[in-house]
Amino acid sequence: MTFYTSLSGLQASQTEMATISHNLANVSTNGFKKSRVEFADVMASNVSISPTQMIGSGTVVKAVRQQFSQGGSQQSTNSLDMLISGEGFFAVKPDLNSAKVAFTRNGAFFVDNDRYVTDANGGKLQVYPVDGSGTVVATGLDSVVSLRLPATSGTPSATTKTELSVNLSANASIPKDSQIFNNGGPAYKFDRFNPATYNNSSQTTIFDALGNAQTMTNYYVRDTASTGAGTTSTWKVYTFVGSDQLSSGGVKGPMTMTFDDKGKLTGVANANGGTGTPATKVTFDGFTPASATTSQTVSLDFGSLTTQLSSPFVKNSETQDGRAIGQIESVTISEYGVVSASFSNGDTQALGKVALANFSNPSGLRQLGKSYWSATGVSGEAKLGEAGGNGFGNLSTGAIERSNVDITEELVGLIAAQRNFQANAKSLETSSQISQTIFNIRS
């Protein structure tokens, strides 16, 4: 009987040492939770044995219980890394083709090549669907979806209207290098590749029907100067989109801007001399950008803020009504778990809200490996909630929860388990020697 009592102690100590070794092996595993061996004594009794004379029959491993204490925090520069402070688990789906959901404390996430937010094991982060304001529209484990980042945002639209205001310097001179004398009178030859043939230029970004960005460039050439009170001065404006010069009024040529002697813009005429409506606005003839296959028409309005003053040339303002497709630029997660994406066109889109799970008895969860757990009858069914909710902990971004293994504590426990093993081995050896002595007496 003593033999089997000592053997049970050896087996129990071996289980404890194996558990501690497993803890130590995962000291650097993110989100890992250590386990602790719990023992129970074994008593063989019946009604005929006096309670004061009962001798135990050894020990048995009652449970290898997981310890869900908080692990240490490690800061990171990844905006998708998350840490749960307190109770709660992230829900992940290891297989998109399966309804099975696993739970983890490892909040190290990144974007895979299919734009899903996933962990190192391929598990897709599960979030609640939300509306445009970030409000959850469906709850429950059956309602969560795998978080996927959209590649683009918005619908492209072609630019049809541009508004631009500039100040053209009243002190500017007529470009001499652009003057070619023909029959005794000046004629002007503009060359956009020769800065000596124009005074200033401005660039405005416009968009074609596909949302591709194009550059509209206006070149300003001083044509005539005011000679005194009551007289006017004029400027020629050549407009290009890319390398193509735009036409207006059926003529491919410059617009004419007229200013009074006080520098106020009094009108803009298109290339054939017609006046725009209103006087500061010109609508160009239809053109097809190099990046598109459909024609578009653009108007240019210099407005009432365009002036000719003695100060240097400056572009005061510009607007246009076109819109590009937004490319995703960044992703952020709020302290409440709302995932938002920002796009190059200025759009901000709420993509979902991180779903957190908790259990009545987390120690009853089944370990699946890879820092995953699944629900069992011992743990109870998953209860889903949100960050900051009662029993679901708080969410921090840019941080990861480390293992909750304390190396010093585990090493001390390992020494104690080793001593227990040695003591039971010695007891087993003593039992063997006693048995051998008895055998020798009989012989």
Domains and CATH numbers, the chain: 2-69+406-442 (no CATH), 78-153+334-401 (no CATH), 161-320 (2.60.98.20)
- Choice between 437 and 209, residue whose per-residue pLDDT is larger: 209
Q: Indicate the pairing of strand 200-207 with strand 185-188.
A: unpaired
pLDDT at 1 over 80: no
Query: Quick check: 168 and 201 in contact, CB under 8 A?
Result: no
| Angle at the Cα of 259 from the Cα atoms of 253 and 261, rounded to 5 degrees | 150
Range 22-47 average pLDDT: 89
Distance CA 238, CA 236 (A): 7
**Residue 92: φ, ψ to 5°:** -130, 155
pLDDT at 48 over 90: no
Range 109-127 average pLDDT: 95
Quote the pLDDT of residue 46.
66
Distance CA 147, CA 124 (A): 7
Cα dist from 359 to 11, 69, 138, 379, 388, whole Å: 32, 14, 20, 6, 16
Quote the pLDDT of residue 69.
93
Range 111-138 average pLDDT: 94
pLDDT at 179 over 60: no
How high does pLDDT run on average in the chain?
90
Contacts for 309-313: CB closer than 8 Å, 24+ residues apart: 309/167, 309/169, 309/170, 309/263, 310/169, 310/170, 310/171, 311/167, 311/169, 312/167, 312/169, 313/166, 313/167, 313/168, 313/169, 313/172, 313/199, 313/200, 313/220
User: Which structure tokens are listed for 295?
Assistant: 């024609």
Range 341-355 average pLDDT: 92
- Choice between 52 and 165, residue whose per-residue pLDDT is larger: 165
pTM of the model: 0.73
Range 128-154 average pLDDT: 91
Quote the pLDDT of residue 184.
46
- Choice between 31 and 275, residue whose per-residue pLDDT is larger: 31
User: Which structure tokens are listed for 346?
Assistant: 């200025």
CB proximity list for 310: less than 8 A, separation 6 or greater: 169, 170, 171
Which tens digit of pLDDT belongs to each residue from 377-395? 999 999 999 998 888 989 9
User: Which structure tokens are listed for 28?
Assistant: 């650097």
Tell me, what DSSP letter sits at residue 275?
A: B
pLDDT at 186 over 80: no
Work out the pLDDT band at 182, boundaries 50, 70, 90.
very low
Nearest Cα neighbor of 147 from 106, 167, 119, 187 is: 119
Helices 407-442/2-25 angle, 10° precision: 160
- Choice between 437 and 130, residue whose per-residue pLDDT is larger: 130
- Choice between 427 and 194, residue whose per-residue pLDDT is larger: 194
User: Which structure tokens are listed for 190?
Assistant: 């503009």
Work out the pLDDT band at 108, boundaries 50, 70, 90.
very high
Length of the chain: 443
